[in-house]
Amino acid sequence: MQKIINKMSEKPVRVRFAPSPTGPLHIGGVRTALYNYLFAKKNNGTFIIRIEDTDQTRFVSGAQDYIMDALNWCGIIPTEGPGIGGEYGPYVQSERKDMYRPYAEQLVANDKAYYAFDTPEELDEMRDRAKAMNMPNWQYNSVTRTSMKNSLSLPADEVKRRLENGDPYVIRIKMPRNFDVRFEDLIRGWVTVNTNNLDDKVLFKSDGMPTYHLANIVDDHTMAISHVIRGEEWLPSAPMHIMLYEAFGWEAPRFAHLPLLLRPDGNGKLSKRDGDRLGFPVFPCDWHTAEGELYSGYREKGYLPEAFINMLAFLGWNPGTTQEIFSMKELEEVFTLERVSKGGAKFDPEKTKWFQQQHLKAVSDDQLADLLINQYGAKVDKTSLTKIVHLMKERAIFPQDILTEGVYLLERPTEIDASSIEKKWKDDSASLLNGWLEKLASISEFSAHSIEEVFKAYIAERNVGIGAVMFLFRLLVTGHGAGPSMFEISEFLGKQEVIERLKWGLTTVESMKK
RNA sequence: GGCCCAUUCGUCUAGUGGUUAGGACGUAAGAUUUUCAUUCUUAAAACAGGAGUUCGAUUCUCCUAUGGGCUGCCA
């Protein structure tokens, strides 16, 4: 009974993914979005997108559209967000600009924050000087603030004068001294930090915008966010965020800090340069920079969104069973934060391909044919294409492989590899193939099965092995040394076409021999 | 440097105070297949190190090492 009551009094699950539009979203960000989304779905909650664009100097045109487009391709669909709407909008921080200052002022009034007039140049100077004295981390904190220019150290009338004068200022949090901040991370357990290690972070900038720290707390609170699921890089500032909630007198949401995605070689956080350097995409979709550079994406490489998502889900999470192939729907049912691992995960491009292959196999021939027509511009009738898909699917990783590797099903070969002929063409080859040509011409029902019957009878009759005829038959008809069953291929091409190709092949080889 | 976080096969990971430490990718060998791919079988491959607690630690505690993150009027 107690449990039921607790459950009923729990707040509804509302989570947000809060990217900054400073460039394309990389796969680490997509994974964070995915875990938020899955957590929301699993708990009948709401998944929200909020754009954190409080740094006007880092704004990148097109980035926000990219983020929304990429998430959409992934199937990570928000219930509330920019362009979608919702009760708690607007969902872009620059559009919420006016609401932050009163909150910052409120903290100053309550002695939880203060005005600081030090210029960026003065602060740089301070840090440089400290560094020169072998103190690499000078901080604006409870001991140093007394010797800086702020509303705590300056006389009240001067503060008033500066404010009225319109002097530029920032608002900093007044971090208390020697206090243990404790919070329970849903993935890592209890984390404790003493406030002596925390500095007086800027909450409100001199340009009239809040910093991430303030905006994040105000928005999470006003948007009724229940769980903050974000990357591990935020763990060090989480205690400060807890202090802010406390300063406002608000209940803090639950926190979960996700392990980082590491690069496949060596160590370190996966970065956008790693992709091109190591030959795999780090972005969900292609991104063209203003300078004309291209960062490649999974979508354009031919990855299926579900394969991409499946792979990402398993980078730092597992279901506790041996099942590895999941659809988005299935992930929504089994995902829990308890099964997210603590350590960083190295990204594995090889396994990514395997996920893709597995998901491709799961797509029906019919759907794949549609995909090839609609997205890859295949110019074949649907019926033939479906047959081609059926023949080629097992040896394809990407949809387009079916078209490129099965090109001979669509058009006649134009040349025959000389070195293959060199190796495989024997003295009796011409005779064997001509004999086979005659047999082919005699088949009335040109099905894979009957062709195979006739073929077997023929090699028995000529007293040779399969290899003496088959490889060359394949080479002359398809121009390739490998592929699906030649009997199936023959049936698909049809008697007339096979015979013509074989004749062409025989003449071509003859001319090569001269 | 300081603070915080992490550490099981090459990689992603399961797991327990007593297990032959399990699975997957990759690798190797073999089987199937006209070939390639698929599929199947098998193999090699891991508890970072040192103390302590304990009858017994991969598992619990501490230390060390290693790796990572943060240390901006960036997010």
Say if A3 falls within a structural domain.
no
Does residue A272 carry a catalytic annotation? Answer: yes
**Beta carbon of A362 within 7 Å of strand B?**
no
Is A124 found in the same domain as A41?
A: no
Looking across all nucleic acid strands, the nucleotide with the smallest C1' to CA distance from residue A483 is B36
**Beta carbon of A58 within 7 Å of strand B?**
yes
Say if A439 falls within a structural domain.
yes
pLDDT at A513: 72
Residue A161: CB atoms within 10 Å: 12
Is A395 found in the same domain as A247?
A: no
Is A69 found in the same domain as A59?
A: yes
pLDDT at A144: 93
CB A259 within 8 A of CB A344: yes
Residue A164: CB atoms within 10 Å: 8
Q: Kindly name the residue from A42, A272, A495, A503 that is annotated as catalytic.
A: A272
And the tokens for A28?
Answer: 């680490």
And the tokens for A264?
Answer: 């496949």
Say if A475 falls within a structural domain.
yes
pLDDT at A2: 33
Domain final residue, candidates A328, A362, A396: A362
Q: Return chain A residues 387..426 having CB < 7 Å to nucleic acid strand B.
A: 394-395
| A78 CA, B34 C1': Å apart | 52
The C-alpha atoms of residue A444 and residue A400 are separated, in whole angstroms, by 34
**Beta carbon of A162 within 7 Å of strand B?**
no
Is A195 found in the same domain as A124?
A: yes
pLDDT at A6: 39
Q: Which domain holds residue A380?
A: 365-409
Say if A90 falls within a structural domain.
no
Say if A91 falls within a structural domain.
no
Is A328 found in the same domain as A391?
A: no
Largest CA distance in chain A: 112
The CATH code of the domain that includes A479 is 1.10.10.350
**Beta carbon of A90 within 7 Å of strand B?**
no
| A230 CA, B34 C1': Å apart | 54
Helix (H) or strand (E) run with residue A258 in it: strand A254-258
Is A373 found in the same domain as A476?
A: no
| ipTM here | 0.94
**Beta carbon of A269 within 7 Å of strand B?**
yes
pLDDT at A133: 86
Is A279 found in the same domain as A340?
A: yes
Whether a cis peptide bond, with omega within 30° of 0, leads into A319 is no
Is A496 found in the same domain as A447?
A: yes
- Residue A292 — left, alpha, or beta (φ > 0 → left; ψ -120 to 50 → alpha)? left
Give the number of domains in chain A: 4
Say if A507 falls within a structural domain.
yes
Domain final residue, candidates A202, A232, A258: A258
Is A168 found in the same domain as A37?
A: no
Residue A191, SS3 per DSSP: strand
Is A109 found in the same domain as A146?
A: yes
Residues in chain A with pLDDT values less than 50: 1-9
Is A114 found in the same domain as A55?
A: no
Is A242 found in the same domain as A280?
A: no
**Beta carbon of A267 within 7 Å of strand B?**
yes
